[in-house]
């Protein structure tokens, strides 16, 4: 039996899909699924917090596969990380066919819950205890996802400012968005709320899905299928007795999909008379629709008729841009050319930079290749991907090593392969883009790189400092004939504190195919070039360390 706090709250819910849970196609309705996901995740959060929790938000949710009547749904939720008063809960939904036992993923989502005892303020949470390598990995990535979550509005606003161009709507067949406006109302009753009288977040999401799907159906004359949701945020609570008013409207259409925006306002009896709404929730839901043969239907073009409609129309385009950027970044891509550095994908690039390094560092099966007193070299092979780890014992505090290694303009002082290094863009305190030139590997041409360096400080002394590196493409710095443009897929440092005056620096590099022959030869030989560079790095760190 797991006890509270042992490995973060973990909860599992299993359900059989009955006709009452299904839509007209006999598939589990998205609304019902959202209710189960929210309840399971909230229970996991409460298992860790030991007090009542409320849903603050549910990140982008993608629905991969449908579950049908008679199949079995399993929802697993686990607290990945406790921040101060909030927690990230990871949710994985799978469906199993009773006859074949085949299991498929329905959805993977992340939600944030805030510990909020009834009638009291928020409370500070205990950190979760990490038992497995997977727990460690999710714990590290949770803070990266939080950066994206909390920075989303800013990214969105910046992109909206950039996209401030006038759209023209000349298509005569375009449908007015007003035609898709749907309003609905619900009275919150005891079965819709938890034992404290707070409306279930999952229930609100289910009601939103119903209204949004009616709005989308006005355009496709068919039954829309929910594909994804662009973040549910719960701005404020609602309780039993509240009237919830839902307004849904199509914001934009994209060939085979449609974005519907839903706004939820709550009123108690007094507010109802005075027409004083509480805005408790807004979300953007993406649907597609299929014909009898299962082929995707094309949605008609739409035209907004008001200033607000115009803003929502442009907002949908921006959200789609961010969504596509997210998909590109989070899907494992290993080949050139590196992704372009654009406003819409910066948060995901940084996430993917740190996440890829963290994944690499957490891999099992590293094999030791060479050992000196202070330097150990490890390799890792997976299919045709070779990765390298160089472990260095350094007699300076970890914080100092971090500040010296995260400034790439200093790397010429210890890596003799580097010819020059300059900052191209100081994006923010934690992110910089550098232009680096280095000695040729094969042939005569020196190499050049455009790299994103993301640096992260640990939240707790037991966690490492991280400096993650990957190539990016900048349109302002195209490849030039004098240099061979080279790519870094995943590289960087993890710096672990060993004592007040010692640290262990681990350098990682996922070797690109161009460098493979060179490195393999080098590794099976004396590994001398790598060892020499590592020894120079230690010397540099200890020399600089002694000055401060
Ligand atoms: C069994 C089933 C039960 C299901 C439970 C439900 O459905 S509950 C019902 C649906 N949900 C609700 O009714 C909640 C409505 N919303 C609220 O009450 C409030 O907005 C809130 C408690 C979530 C946040 O309150 P405040 O805005 O005062 O709090 P504050 O700004 O200090 O934030 C508290 C913590 O939450 C984080 N936080 C706030 N909004 C966030 C968001 N959209 N996404 C992620 N995290 C968020 C902050 O970073 C902070 O984390 P750190 O402190 O860690 O830095």
**What's the complex ipTM?**
0.94
Measured between alpha carbons, how far is 21 from 28 in angstroms, rounded to an integer?
A: 6
Residue 293 is given by DSSP the state T
CA distances from 236 to 52, 153, 240, 264, 484 (A): 16, 18, 14, 11, 55
Reply yes or no on whether the pLDDT at 356 is more than 70: yes
Q: How far is CA 380 from CA 25, 136, 232, 510, in A?
A: 48, 20, 40, 9
Residue 308 CA to chain centroid, in angstroms? 29
| pLDDT beyond 80 at 192 | yes
Establish if 164 belongs to a structural domain.
no
**Residue 58 and residue 28 share a domain:** yes
CB 435 within 8 A of CB 448: yes
The reply to whether 102 and 180 lie within a common domain is no
Residue 191 shares a structural domain with residue 322 = yes
For range 42-46, the mean pLDDT = 96
Check if the beta carbon of residue 317 is closer than 8 Å to that of residue 252.
yes
> Does residue 159 lie within any of the structural domains?
no
Q: Tell which of 297, 331, 365 closes a domain.
A: 331
pLDDT class of 524 with cuts at 50, 70, 90: very low
Ligand 1 near 149 CB (within 6 A):
yes
Residue 121 Cβ inside 6 Å of ligand 1? The answer reads: no
> Same domain, yes or no, for 471 and 513?
yes
Confidence class for position 384, pLDDT limits 50, 70, 90:
low
- pLDDT in the model for residue 334: 46
Quick check: CB of 112 below 6 Å from ligand 1? yes
**pLDDT value, residue 191:** 94
**Same-domain check for residues 421 and 290:** no
Residue 165: pLDDT band by 50, 70, 90 thresholds? low
Question: b vs e for 404-433, b when ≥16 Cβ sit within 10 Å of the residue's Cβ?
Answer: bbbbbebbebbbeebeebeebbebeeebbb
Q: Which of 121, 151, 181 is the last residue of a domain?
A: 151
The confidence band for 514, taking pLDDT boundaries of 50, 70 and 90, is very low
The answer to whether residue 102 sits within a structural domain is: yes
* Long-range contacts at 61-64 (CB < 8 A, ≥ 24 apart): 61/34, 61/107, 61/109, 61/228, 61/229, 61/232, 62/107, 62/108, 62/109, 62/227, 62/228, 63/30, 63/33, 63/106, 63/107, 63/226, 63/227, 63/228, 64/104, 64/105, 64/106, 64/107
Could you give the dihedral angle defined by the CA atoms of residues 7, 228, 39 and 106, in that order, rounded to the nearest 10 degrees? -70
346 alpha carbon – ligand 1 mean position (Å): 25
Kindly state the average pLDDT of the residues 336-355: 82
Put simply, whether the predicted model's pTM sits higher than 0.90 gets the answer no
Residue with tokens 């719960």: 234
Any atom of ligand 1 within 6 Å of the Cβ of 237: yes
Choose the final residue of a domain: 312, 331, 350: 331
Residues 55 and 122 reside in one and the same domain = yes
Q: For a pocket test of ligand 1, which of 54, 126, 282 has the largest count of ligand atoms closer than 8 A to its C-beta?
A: 54
Q: Is 114 in the pocket of ligand 1 (CB under 6 A)?
A: yes
Distance 198 CA to ligand 1 centre (A): 13
Does residue 148's CB lie within 6 angstroms of at least one atom of ligand 1? no
Assess whether 294 and 347 both reside in one domain: no
**Does any ligand 1 atom lie closer than 6 A to the CB of residue 282?**
no
pLDDT (mean) for 405-427 = 92
- Residue 511: give the domain boundaries: 333-546
Mean pLDDT confidence for 133-139: 84
What integer pLDDT is reported at residue 214 of this predicted model? Answer: 96
- What pLDDT is stored for residue 370 in this prediction? 67
How far is ligand 1, taken at its centre, from the CA of residue 235, in Å? 7
Tell me: do 181 and 90 sit in the same domain. Answer: no
pLDDT band at 333 (very low <50, low <70, confident <90, very high): very low
The residues near 383 (Cβ < 8 Å, ≥ 6 apart) are: none
234-243, 451-460, 518-527: least confidently modelled range: 518-527
| Residues in contact with 347: Cβ distance below 8 Å, sequence separation at least 6, in sequence order | 147, 148, 151, 152, 155
Q: Is 71 close to ligand 1, i.e. is its CB under 6 Å away? A: no
Could you tell me the distance, in angstroms and rounded to a whole number, from the CA of residue 437 to the centre of ligand 1? Answer: 47
Q: What CATH number is associated with residue 341?
A: 3.30.530.20
Cα 166 to middle of ligand 1, angstroms: 37
On whether residue 323 sits in a domain, the answer given is: yes
Task: Kindly tell me if the per-residue pLDDT of 5 is higher than 70.
Answer: no
Within a domain: 527 = yes
Mean pLDDT value across the chain:
87
Percentage of the chain beyond pLDDT 70 is: 90
> Is 304:239 a contact under the CB 8 Å cutoff?
no
Question: What's the CA-to-centroid distance between 416 and ligand 1, angstroms?
Answer: 51
The pLDDT value given to residue 522: 44
Query: Region 512-521: what's the mean pLDDT?
Result: 46
* Shared domain check, 361 and 324: no
pLDDT digits (tens, 9 = 90+) for 463-477: 999 999 999 999 899
Our measurement of the distance from residue 537's CA atom to the centroid of its chain's CA atoms, rounded to an integer in Å, reads 33
Residue whose Cα lies nearest atom 18 of ligand 1: it is 236
Atom number in ligand 1 closest to CA 238: 13
CB of 489 closer than 6 angstroms to any ligand 1 atom: no
Tens digits of residue pLDDT in 361-382? 988 878 776 677 788 888 887 7
Domain-located, residue 14: yes
pLDDT of 145 reads: 85
Q: Average pLDDT of 312-318?
A: 90
- For the chain, the helix, strand and coil percentages under 3-state DSSP, each to the nearest 5: 30, 35, 35
Per-residue pLDDT, averaged over 507-515, amounts to 71
- Ranking 137-141, 357-361, 384-388 by mean pLDDT, the lowest is 384-388
Element (H, E) at 509: strand 503-510
**Based on the domain organization, do 183 and 261 belong to the same domain?**
yes
Task: Please check the confidence at residue 149 and state whether its pLDDT lies above 70.
Answer: yes
Contact 439, 417 (CB under 8 A): yes
- The answer on 192 and 115 residing in a single domain is no
Q: What is the pLDDT of residues 530-545, one digit of tens each?
A: 888 899 999 999 999 8
Range list of H helices, 117-250: 133-162, 201-220
Looking at the predicted structure, is the pLDDT value of residue 359 above 80?
yes
Question: CATH number for the domain including 143?
Answer: 3.10.129.10
Confidence band (pLDDT; 50, 70, 90) for 161? confident
Residue closest to 370 by CA, chosen among 392, 354, 355: 392
For residue 353, the model assigns a pLDDT of: 92
Residue 165 resides in a domain: no
Evaluate whether residue 469 is within a structural domain.
Answer: yes
Distance from Cα 87 to the centre of ligand 1, integer Å = 10
Mutate to test the pocket of ligand 1, among 35, 53, 56, 156 (most ligand atoms within 8 A of CB): 56
Residues 498 and 448 in one domain: yes
- Total domains in the chain come to 3
Q: Pick from 233, 249, 241, 229: which is nearest to 266 by CA?
A: 241
């Amino acid at each position: 039996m797991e006890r509270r706090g042992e490995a973060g709250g973990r909860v599992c819910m299993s359900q059989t899909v009955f006709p009452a849970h299904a839509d007209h196609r006999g598939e589990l309705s998205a609304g019902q699924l959202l209710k189960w996901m929210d309840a399971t995740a909230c229970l996991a959060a409460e298992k860790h917090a030991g007090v009542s929790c409320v849903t603050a938000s549910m990140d982008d949710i993608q629905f991969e596969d449908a579950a049908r009547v008679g199949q079995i749904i399993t929802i697993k939720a686990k607290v990945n990380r406790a921040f101060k008063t909030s927690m990230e809960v990871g949710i994985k939904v799978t469906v199993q066919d009773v006859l074949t036992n085949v299991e498929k993923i329905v959805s993977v989502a992340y939600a944030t819950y805030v510990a909020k005892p009834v009638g009291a303020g928020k409370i500070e949470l205990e950190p979760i205890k990490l038992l497995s390598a997977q727990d460690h990995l999710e714990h590290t990535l949770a803070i990266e996802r939080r950066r994206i979550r909390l920075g989303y509005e800013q990214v969105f606003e910046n992109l909206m400012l950039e996209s401030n161009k006038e759209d023209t709507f000349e298509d005569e067949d375009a449908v007015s968005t007003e035609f898709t406006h749907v309003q609905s109302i619900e009275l919150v009753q005891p079965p819709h709320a938890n034992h404290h009288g707070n409306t279930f977040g999952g229930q609100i999401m289910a009601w939103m899905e119903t209204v949004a799907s009616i709005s989308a159906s006005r355009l496709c004359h068919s039954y829309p299928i929910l594909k994804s949701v662009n973040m549910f945020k719960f701005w404020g609570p609602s309780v039993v007795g509240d009237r919830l008013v839902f307004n849904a409207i199509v914001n934009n259409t994209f060939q085979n999909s449609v974005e519907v925006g839903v706004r939820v306002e709550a009123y108690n009896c007094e507010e109802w008379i005075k027409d004083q709404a509480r805005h408790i929730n807004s979300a953007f839901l993406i649907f597609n629709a299929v014909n009898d043969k299962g082929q995707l239907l094309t949605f008609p073009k739409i035209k907004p008729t008001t200033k607000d409609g115009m803003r929502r129309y442009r907002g949908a385009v921006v959200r789609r841009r961010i969504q596509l950027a997210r998909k590109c970044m989070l899907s494992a891509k290993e080949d050139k050319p590196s992704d372009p550095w654009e406003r819409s994908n910066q948060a995901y690039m940084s996430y993917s930079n740190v996440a890829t390094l963290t994944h690499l560092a957490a891999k099992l099966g590293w094999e030791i290749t060479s050992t000196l007193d202070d330097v150990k070299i490890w390799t890792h092979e997976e299919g045709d991907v070779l990765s390298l780890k160089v472990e260095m014992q350094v007699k300076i505090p970890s914080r100092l090593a971090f500040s010296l290694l995260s400034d790439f303009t200093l790397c010429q002082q210890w890596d003799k392969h580097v010819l020059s290094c300059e900052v191209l863009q100081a994006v923010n305190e934690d992110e910089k883009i550098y232009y680096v030139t280095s000695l040729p590997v094969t042939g005569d041409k020196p190499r050049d790189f455009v790299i994103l360096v993301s640096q992260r400080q640990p939240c707790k002394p037991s966690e490492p400092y991280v400096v993650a590196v990957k190539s990016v493409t900048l349109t302002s710095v195209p490849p030039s004939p004098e240099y061979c443009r080279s790519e870094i897929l995943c590289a960087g440092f993890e710096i672990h504190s060993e004592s007040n005056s010692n640290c262990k620096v681990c350098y990682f590099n996922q070797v690109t195919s161009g460098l493979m022959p060179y490195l393999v030869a080098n590794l099976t030989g004396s590994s001398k070039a790598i060892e020499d560079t590592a020894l120079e790095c230690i010397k540099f760190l200890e020399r600089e360390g002694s000055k401060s």
